[in-house]
Amino acid sequence: MNLTLSEIIKVTNGTLVYGEDTEVLGITRNTKEINKGDVFIGLKGNTDGSIYYLDALKNGAKGVIVNKGVISNYEKIDNTFILEVDDTIKALGQIASLKRSKYNIPIVAITGSVGKTSTKDIVASVISQKYKVLKTAGNLNNDIGMPLMILKLKDEDVLVLEMGMNHAGEISYLSKIAKPTLAIITNVGSAHIGNLGSRENILKAKLEIRDGLSGKLIINNDNDMLHDYYLSNKDNIITVGINNDSDIMAKDISYEGNTSYKYNDTLINLNVGGEAFIYNSMLAIAAGKELGLSMEEIKKGIESFELTKSRLQIYNVNGYKIIDETYNANYDSMREAIKNLGKESGRKIAVLGDMLELGDYSKEIHSNIGKVVNENNIDLLVTVGNDSKYINDNSNTNNVHFSNNEDAINYLKEIIKEGDTILLKASNSLNFIEIVNALKGDNNEN
């Protein structure tokens, strides 16, 4: 269901510099990734992508959408068009909303403080047992990435979208573009609390997913904030849980070998361990049931899902295990990772770095992670960075702190031995992947 230039002009209130009405097969922001029939849109970041309009046309773009006033003298290329708009990022959302309006299909939207991507992966794996599914690629979950995902729709039966946010209002904007028919909130934690000020405000921001929602909301009923909200707002909400009475509940949980549990009479075996993935998979059960899948199809989808690359990687190297969770970190995901490390056999080493975007709460939240370390039988704590020293200060386990990755690498290479399990987790900008790669060496095997 392709768009036309005339439709795009109407929805964006743009000005056609030159060209004629034509069919638009796809929209890209990258001048080097242009397929036949694609249109390039120049987005403003550190520089305004509009200045690359000519590169896009020369690389085969059917036309370009650019910000008004950026180019004073356009070079014309035959059989192409140039459309000027007031704001290309806003126009991208408007065009995605137009594309969305052409599809009468289930659209599942997923948000939460932690677990969005893994839940997206499990949900998509389940639904794909019956339908053709398009899911969010990588981290295309913001005001640019999510509209670009919608614009990739072709002949799929279901679209599964991840929605991220840093500030209030962002999820509302995305939801109103996507108009989901089913939504999921994985949890409400402390991610971005430095921007939002309180967990109550984080809850409000996540609940903005309902602003464009036409169907039911699925929530983790064991999350304290979501549970309290549910007690006063039960209409059109499906709950999953382990502790609180919920519509979908996990029973007979086992962490021996692979994590497993029972839902009613069905045994579910997870290929990734830990309590968090039990919740994520139950959210997928709820979504699958809403979309009419059989329990056999749901079970197969859960047990065969694959995580998006770089989310959780496990490497076995020279007799020791590396758990790579270097993609990002906040209180909730770090606590879960430490709890899972505590279930490992052998010596357990937690290598933890700074969690960012915590603002005035940073000292308190890092300090609380130190208490989590104390509760989970960790043998050695290694912290790296600035505020991570507060983790160290509040831990009574064996610990050491470094200000940089290089010193941490040298220390770890000296003390790691066969049988150890090493968890590495920090916010992405601390570049902990540098430590992972150093520990893996040249002889790693997945």
Give CA–CA dist 50/88, Å, rounded: 9
Domains 103-303 and 313-440 in one fold: no
Q: Are 263 and 283 in contact (CB under 8 A)?
A: no
DSSP letter for 272, please.
Answer: S
DSSP letter for 44, please.
Answer: B
Question: Where do the DSSP E strands lie in 56-212?
Answer: 63-67, 81-85, 107-111, 133-135, 158-162, 182-185
The pLDDT, as a whole number, for residue 310 is 54
Q: Decide: residue 105, CB within 10 A, 0-12 exposed, 13-18 middle, 19+ buried.
A: middle
Tens digits of pLDDT across the chain (446 residues): 899 999 999 999 999 999 999 999 999 999 999 998 899 999 998 899 999 999 999 999 999 999 999 998 999 999 999 999 999 999 999 999 999 999 999 999 999 988 898 999 999 999 999 999 999 998 899 999 999 999 999 999 999 999 999 899 999 999 999 999 999 999 998 777 877 888 899 999 999 999 999 999 999 999 999 999 999 999 999 999 999 999 999 999 998 777 899 999 999 999 887 888 999 999 999 999 999 999 999 999 999 988 766 567 888 888 999 999 888 888 888 998 999 899 888 999 999 999 988 888 899 999 999 999 999 999 999 999 999 999 999 998 899 999 999 999 999 999 999 999 999 999 988 999 999 999 988 444 44
Q: Are 270 and 303 in contact (CB under 8 A)?
A: yes
The domain segmentation of the chain, as residue ranges, is 3-91, 103-303, 313-440
Strands 260-263, 348-353: pairing kind: unpaired
**Half-sphere exposure of residue 266: CA atoms within 13 angstroms, side-chain side:** 18
Query: Which of 110, 29, 118 minimizes the C-alpha distance to 327?
Result: 118
- The pTM (predicted TM-score) of the whole model is 0.83
To which residue do tokens 């904007």 refer?
173
Give CA–CA dist 316/412, Å, rounded: 16
To which residue do tokens 């939504």 refer?
183
Give the CATH superfamily of 103-303: Mur-like, catalytic domain (3.40.1190.10)
Give CA–CA dist 134/139, Å, rounded: 14
Instruction: Name the architecture of domain 313-440.
Output: Alpha-Beta Complex (3.90)
Give CA–CA dist 5/39, Å, rounded: 10
State the CATH class of domain 3-91.
alpha beta
End-to-end CA distance of the chain: 41
